[in-house]
Chains A and B, each alone.
Chain A
């Protein structure tokens, strides 16, 4: 027999589907029991859900009377889609929002495709020129008819609040974090106070203050747009949280990185911008994106000051007498859309982490 001379392979039992099943799902009696229990749960939950959402659902029609099947009545969403996506924005001006979406989509796609050139320029365009385009296109000016922000609503409003909050809060958060660690006591104390006050107050209070209290402190006749007040509130609120996240990253930096930067002659700001922040921000990407996701979902709170965001408007159209009783469809749809956006951020964060990983 030459069996002894053969190369030794892995024991056969570990291989293939059976091996995997045995190892992961049925390795002992309680594991087997859990597996069977889990399968049973899926069995009782999944089919009814699939039936309700897809198989028994109603997709075609104009009114609630067309919803004859037992499942979800997606006609409710279809018929109100304009309200849900754009709020009360005038129909003939909707192209302006779509135009902004298109620019965002194209430049975002460009940044996502690997190995394209001039990404820096596209990024700069998005951060500097795009916001100006947004303001002009969305609120009017340069020959475009003005659209008051009280008409803004739906998913569009959610994206505006979350977008502005996210984009502006990161740089402010970074500056606050640097300020809190500053050697100058005045700067450090001011930043600490700012951060702790904002973090100590619930967002809902911030929004109430912005909407109801703030005007009381302003001189007669001075009137800030309510949306802008809400935006400022959301931005500082998010910035205070981000500041602490970023500070965590700064504290995790080895002292040697500061010393090496100083030894080659980098000044404080260059050291921060070129050596310390790129590393410490990279370390806290998961926490930063976590904050972004939280802010995205927290935008739903603007409902309390009378702004109709995505969720708010879905609840609102549910109270329309023509469509009473379809709140389930509304909430499931809202959940699905929120999930898509949040998961996209999560996915991007993982991608970014992998891309920036250079080892330590």
Chain B
């Protein structure tokens, strides 16, 4: 695997008011790496990935995505958002647009693709997540699992080099989790650089190059899956693992 550096976080800090939500985060992610982040709620894991595409602003330290440093400069933010796709816990599809339009909106308006081409590409990705037959329906007419797959397709349509997943299966009924995870596994096998916040430890074991455990805004432990599950070092990791496994 090439070791092209995709994301670099150096001494990143963030506070919500008095609350220190990210405390000295240092992280390097190479091209094609799959990182799973887990930890108790409130540990800062969502905030961490939301800092990568500037949905949250970090207050200290540096975040460099594909060589572009994230600053207040709106051009750097736009460039990075173009390279980074995101999938949310609550799907956040645009309810007033059909699934196909959800997927082709940004390619048309941000990438400036001709409409026909954008729709064609959207259909391709919808086929890849196996909901091309739902393309002309509205989000409200789809099941949760289908909506989340549509949201993944929407992100992929921008042809991002990095994908962020913020608890993508937490809002799903149990029987729909697998269909979403299958899509994500497929994506991982295709070589996408992925950062996934999730508690799906089966998924972590299967695809993660490294698992990061966070607590109270800090990275407590970062290891490959085998070591992470077999020899966790920190007490906090052990407690957490005993609670979710």
A262 to B245 alpha-carbon distance, docked (Å): 35
| B105 nearest in chain A by CB position | A274
Which B residues are CB-close (under 8 A) to A69?
Answer: none
A279 at the interface (CB under 8 A from B): yes
CB of A264 within 8 A of CB of B81, answer: yes
Which A residues are CB-close (under 8 A) to B95?
Answer: 279, 358-360
A13 at the interface (CB under 8 A from B): no
Partner-contacting stretch, out of A39-47, A188-196, A252-260 = A252-260
A134 at the interface (CB under 8 A from B): no
CB of B55 within 8 A of CB of A264, answer: no
Which A residues are CB-close (under 8 A) to B85?
Answer: 263-264
B51 at the interface (CB under 8 A from A): no
Nearest CB of chain A from residue B118's CB, rounded to whole Å:
12
B93 at the interface (CB under 8 A from A): yes
Which A residues are CB-close (under 8 A) to B78?
Answer: 265, 267
CB of A264 within 8 A of CB of B155, answer: yes
- Starting from the known contacts A266-B105, A359-B141, 13 additional A-B residue pairs (CB-CB under 8 Å) come to A256-B88, A257-B92, A259-B92, A260-B94, A263-B155, A264-B105, A264-B110, A265-B81, A270-B110, A278-B96, A279-B96, A356-B96, A359-B140
A181 at the interface (CB under 8 A from B): no
A282 at the interface (CB under 8 A from B): yes
CB of B88 within 8 A of CB of A360, answer: no
CB of A260 within 8 A of CB of B82, answer: no
Beta-carbon contacts under 8 Å, A278-304 to B: 278-279, 282
Which B residues are CB-close (under 8 A) to A257?
Answer: 92, 94
A213 to B81 alpha-carbon distance, docked (Å): 53
A261 to B94 alpha-carbon distance, docked (Å): 9
Question: What 1/0 mask marks residues of chain A from 108 to 145 whose CB sits below 8 Å from any chain B CB?
Answer: 00000000000000000000000000000000000000
Q: Which one of A264, A278, A282, A358 has the highest number of Cβ atoms from chain B below 10 Å of its Cβ?
A: A264
CB of A260 within 8 A of CB of B93, answer: yes
A88 at the interface (CB under 8 A from B): no
A278 to B105 alpha-carbon distance, docked (Å): 14
A262 to B54 alpha-carbon distance, docked (Å): 9
A261 to B53 alpha-carbon distance, docked (Å): 12
CB of B140 within 8 A of CB of A264, answer: no
CB of B81 within 8 A of CB of A263, answer: yes
CB of B138 within 8 A of CB of A358, answer: yes
Number of B positions contacting A (CB below 8 A): 30
CB of A256 within 8 A of CB of B110, answer: no
Which A residues are CB-close (under 8 A) to B140?
Answer: 358-360
| B154 nearest in chain A by CB position | A264
| B106 nearest in chain A by CB position | A264
CB of A265 within 8 A of CB of B88, answer: no
Beta-carbon contacts under 8 Å, B70-113 to A: 74, 78, 81-82, 84-86, 88, 90, 92-97, 105-106, 109-110
Which A residues are CB-close (under 8 A) to B105?
Answer: 264, 266, 274-275
Which B residues are CB-close (under 8 A) to A356?
Answer: 96
Closest 6 CB pairs of A and B: A359-B140, A260-B92, A264-B106, A256-B92, A263-B86, A265-B81
The residue that B109 contacts in the complex, of A256, A259, A274, A278, with Cβ under 8 A, is: A274
A201 to B159 alpha-carbon distance, docked (Å): 53
The residue that B158 contacts in the complex, of A264, A279, A282, with Cβ under 8 A, is: A264
Q: Could you say which interface size class chain A belongs to?
A: 20 to 34
A261 to B54 alpha-carbon distance, docked (Å): 12
A241 to B154 alpha-carbon distance, docked (Å): 37
Question: What 1/0 mask marks residues of chain B from 101 to 138 whose CB sits below 8 Å from any chain A CB?
Answer: 00001100110000000000000000000000000001
CB of A263 within 8 A of CB of B96, answer: no
Nearest CB of chain B from residue A120's CB, rounded to whole Å:
14
Q: Which one of A261, A262, A356 has the highest number of Cβ atoms from chain B below 10 Å of its Cβ?
A: A262
Which A residues are CB-close (under 8 A) to B141?
Answer: 359
CB of B158 within 8 A of CB of A265, answer: yes
CB of A259 within 8 A of CB of B94, answer: no
Which A residues are CB-close (under 8 A) to B55?
Answer: 259, 262-263
A278 to B154 alpha-carbon distance, docked (Å): 19
Which B residues are CB-close (under 8 A) to A270?
Answer: 109-110
CB of B138 within 8 A of CB of A263, answer: no
Nearest CB of chain B from residue A139's CB, rounded to whole Å:
40
Which A residues are CB-close (under 8 A) to B84?
Answer: 263
A311 to B74 alpha-carbon distance, docked (Å): 54
Nearest CB of chain A from residue B197's CB, rounded to whole Å:
14
The residue that A265 contacts in the complex, of B82, B93, B97, with Cβ under 8 A, is: B82
A37 to B88 alpha-carbon distance, docked (Å): 59
| B74 nearest in chain A by CB position | A267
A234 to B74 alpha-carbon distance, docked (Å): 38
CB of B92 within 8 A of CB of A266, answer: no
Q: Which one of A256, A278, A358, A359 has the highest number of Cβ atoms from chain B below 10 Å of its Cβ?
A: A358
A62 to B78 alpha-carbon distance, docked (Å): 74
CB of B96 within 8 A of CB of A256, answer: no
Q: Which one of A259, A265, A358 has the highest number of Cβ atoms from chain B below 10 Å of its Cβ?
A: A265
A266 to B138 alpha-carbon distance, docked (Å): 21
A101 to B85 alpha-carbon distance, docked (Å): 51
Which B residues are CB-close (under 8 A) to A267?
Answer: 74, 78
Nearest CB of chain A from residue B130's CB, rounded to whole Å:
21
The residue that A262 contacts in the complex, of B81, B94, B97, with Cβ under 8 A, is: B81
Could you list 29 examples of A-B contacts with CB < 8 Å?
A257-B92, A259-B92, A260-B86, A260-B92, A260-B151, A262-B55, A262-B81, A263-B53, A264-B106, A264-B154, A265-B78, A265-B81, A265-B82, A265-B106, A265-B158, A267-B74, A267-B78, A274-B105, A275-B94, A275-B96, A275-B105, A278-B96, A279-B94, A358-B95, A358-B97, A358-B140, A359-B95, A359-B140, A360-B140
